[in-house]
Amino acid sequence: MTRTCVSQRCMTSIPFPTGTGWSTVLAGDVLVQQAVQETGINHLSLLTAGPVPANPAELMDSAAMRDMLVQLRQEYDVILIDTPPVLAVSDGVITSALCDGVIMVVAAGKVKRSHLRAAKEQLDHVKANMLGLVLNRSSRDQQAFAADHYGMQAQ
């Protein structure tokens, strides 16, 4: 459980308290309702990672995590969980097994194919439901190639 991109971006533009989040809910310090923050955007709430615990993988793979997801599913229509890269730490793999689906985000030209295959194999091993892949940081040339190759219009 590390500070993810969503948390970093939101923390710089919206003043959220940094002392509560996933980790404090899973540790039993606060209720999930107390940790969820309103963003000021209609129908968008945020639950940040919270302080990095000593045992993140154990917390993510706990009954408390499964219970929290049950509570969140009762309250929200869609739950997006941003995790660190799958190959960096086990958080993403553990979490993927508990989710309805996974969308892998890959930086164009930065991730080796062998690493992408290894990440996919780890997700397959826990029977994660791979919904798709988002390729970001692509160049205009890469976008034009994709548009021509797949019959789409480059943005």
User: Which CA distances in Å does 46 have to 82, 114, 149, 151, 154?
Assistant: 11, 33, 37, 36, 31
Asked if residue 93 has pLDDT above 60, the reply is: yes
Give yes or no for a contact between 98 and 69, defined as CB atoms under 8 angstroms apart: yes
Q: How far apart are CA 46 and CA 88, in angstroms?
A: 24
Give yes or no for a contact between 148 and 140, defined as CB atoms under 8 angstroms apart: no
pLDDT computed for residue 11 by the predictor:
47
Token representation of residue 51:
């302080």
Q: How far apart are CA 129 and CA 98, in angstroms?
A: 10
User: Which CA distances in Å does 63 have to 27, 73, 117?
Assistant: 11, 15, 30
The pLDDT tens digits of the residues spanning 23-63 come to 999 999 999 999 999 888 999 999 998 998 888 888 889 99
Q: How far apart are CA 76 and CA 14, in angstroms?
A: 21
Reported confidence tier of residue 12, pLDDT bands at 50, 70, 90: very low
Global pTM value? 0.73
Q: Domain locations in the chain?
A: 1-83, 101-155
**Size of the chain in residues:** 155
CATH class of the domain defined by 1-83: alpha beta
